[in-house]
């Protein structure tokens, strides 16, 4: 059995279809070039120990035994991340039918609560590292499914798209737990972070309340979102040239943002960044992820620098990132 395993998993952006995906509609998402690293090793205490030194919140150290959690430093938003890690470790121990002390240490380049799938990435990287440590052979699909289970345990509701993209990587069309690889398109995008974060759990619950109160209004919005995703898929797999593809995708992004705004998940800041990006020459811009803060992204062929500057002037943090082909990666195994 290995003595130490280091695994990493990427962030994602939902290109089209967040929220409607919770209602069984399709979505398109892609892994991006920001990663969470999890190092797993055995310990003699018999407990699960979690250290998170840099998860874009003040550093913290936490350990817990079966019924107690000890926070050794200030944790803030990061506490949410920890429940993903804890459930991930427990699921793997259950799967391996083992009760043993495991320590994990986390570092991450992904801002927490920004709609970039930081929770799923940490869950997937943890499952990847701990399962390898325990000599459990799991496929990436199985790891994605376990990541989805972790999200359901922590959030209550989840489509499973985040852990799937994080485990598998690349460009995926996702519907009801099944995914399909789409041809890889190198999209010239800029991600803009509002600097504040929304709670996926609360936003999903808020949309659910609206849906239950006014199904005759909300159902057609969700339907429309589903159809829009299928149109985007047609464009991506079509033989159109790159420029035409970008134009059509940009238009669909703008419509998708409007529909998300109608659901109530955009914020003034998100829409300001979206409009600033469009004014600076982006073909399309929309919020990505759960909303309520977090991130937007813009499609800006030949205009990435201008759009990044506009996002900055509008008070956001721009990130020029790349779509990533790779999902979960085992970085190091020490015997």
**Count of residues of this chain found to bind ligand PMV when the rule CB under 6 A is applied:** 16
Interface with ligand PMV, residue 225, by CB under 6 A: no
Q: Which of 26, 169, 289, 318 binds ligand PMV (CB under 6 A)?
A: 289
Nearest distance in Å: CB 46, ligand PMV: 33
Asked if 19 touches ligand PMV (CB under 6 A), the answer is yes
Give the chain's largest Cα–Cα span: 59
Question: Cβ(20)–Cβ(48) under 8 Å?
Answer: no
Q: Which of 200, 256, 271, 304 binds ligand PMV (CB under 6 A)?
A: 200
Residue with Cβ nearer ligand PMV (39 or 226): 226
Residue 36 beta carbon to ligand PMV: minimum distance, rounded to whole angstroms: 13
Candidate residues 50, 204, 253, 300; the one interacting with ligand PMV per rule CB under 6 A: 204
Select from 74-82, 87-95, 154-162, 326-334 the region that touches ligand PMV (CB under 6 A): 154-162
Q: In this chain, which stretch among 13-21, 82-90, 101-109, 187-195 interacts with ligand PMV, using CB under 6 A?
A: 13-21
Assess 228 for contact with ligand PMV (CB under 6 A).
Answer: no
Residue nearest ligand PMV, Cβ-based: 289
Q: Which of residues 64-123 bind ligand PMV (CB under 6 A)?
A: 115, 117
Is residue 116 a known part of a binding site?
yes
Q: Please report how close the Cβ of residue 171 comes to ligand PMV at its closest, in angstroms.
A: 17
Shortest distance in whole angstroms from residue 226 CB to ligand PMV: 12
Q: Is 162 a catalytic residue?
A: yes
**Annotation-wise, does 112 bind a ligand?**
yes
- The catalytic residue among 44, 97, 135, 162 is 162
Q: What is the end-to-end Cα distance of the chain in Å, rounded?
A: 7
| Residue 115 is assigned to a ligand binding site | yes
**CA angle, residues 69, 71, 74, in degrees to nearest 5:** 155
Question: Which residues between 157 and 196 bind ligand PMV (CB under 6 A)?
Answer: 158-159, 161-162
285 is in an annotated binding site: no
Q: How far is the CB of 159 from ligand PMV (least distance, A)?
A: 3
Contact segment (CB under 6 A) with ligand PMV among 153-161, 251-259, 267-275, 316-324 equals: 153-161
Answer for the pair 125, 156: CB distance below 8 angstroms, yes or no.
Answer: no
34, 109 in Cβ contact below 8 A? yes
Stretches 17-25, 77-85, 88-96, 129-137: which one binds ligand PMV (CB under 6 A)? 17-25
The least distance separating ligand PMV from the CB of residue 295, rounded to whole angstroms, comes to 8
276: left (phi over 0), alpha (psi -120 to 50) or beta: alpha
Question: Nearest CA to 14 among 145, 158, 215, 154?
Answer: 158
> Which residues are documented as binding site for ATP?
111-121
Residues acting as catalytic residues = 162
- Applying CB under 6 A, which residues contact ligand PMV? 14, 18-19, 21-22, 115, 117, 158-159, 161-162, 200, 204, 289-290, 294
């Amino acid at each position: 059995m290995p003595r130490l395993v280091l695994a990493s998993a990427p962030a994602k952006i939902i290109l089209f279809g967040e929220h409607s995906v919770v209602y069984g509609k399709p979505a398109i998402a892609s892994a991006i070039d920001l990663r969470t690293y999890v190092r797993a090793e055995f310990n003699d205490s018999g407990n699960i120990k979690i250290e998170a030194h840099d998860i874009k919140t003040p550093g913290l150290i936490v350990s817990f035994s079966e019924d107690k959690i000890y926070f050794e430093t200030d944790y803030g938003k990061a506490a949410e991340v920890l429940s993903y890690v804890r459930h991930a470790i427990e699921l793997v121990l259950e799967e391996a039918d083992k009760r043993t002390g495991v320590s994990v240490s986390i570092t991450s380049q992904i801002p927490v609560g920004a709609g970039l799938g930081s929770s799923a990435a940490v869950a997937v990287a943890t499952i990847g590292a701990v399962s390898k440590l325990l000599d459990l052979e799991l496929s990436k699909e199985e790891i994605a499914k376990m990541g989805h289970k972790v999200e359901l345990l922590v959030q209550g509701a989840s489509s499973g798209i985040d852990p799937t993209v994080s485990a598998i990587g690349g460009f995926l069309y996702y519907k009801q737990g099944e995914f399909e690889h789409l041809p890889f398109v190198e999209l010239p995008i800029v991600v803009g972070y509002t600097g504040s974060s929304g709670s996926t759990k609360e936003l999903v619950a808020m949309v659910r309340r609206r849906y239950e109160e006014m199904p005759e209004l909300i159902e057609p919005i969700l339907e429309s979102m589903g159809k829009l995703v299928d149109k985007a898929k047609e464009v991506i797999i079509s033989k159109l040239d790159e420029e035409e593809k970008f134009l059509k995708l940009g238009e669909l992004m703008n419509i998708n943002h409007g529909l998300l705004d109608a659901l109530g998940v955009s914020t003034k800041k998100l829409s300001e960044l979206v409009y600033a990006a469009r004014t600076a020459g982006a073909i399309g811009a929309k919020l990505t992820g759960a909303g309520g803060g977090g991130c937007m992204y813009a499609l800006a062929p030949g205009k990435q620098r201008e759009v990044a500057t506009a996002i900055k002037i509008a008070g956001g943090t721009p990130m020029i990132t790349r779509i990533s082909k790779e999902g979960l990666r085992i970085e190091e195994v020490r015997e």
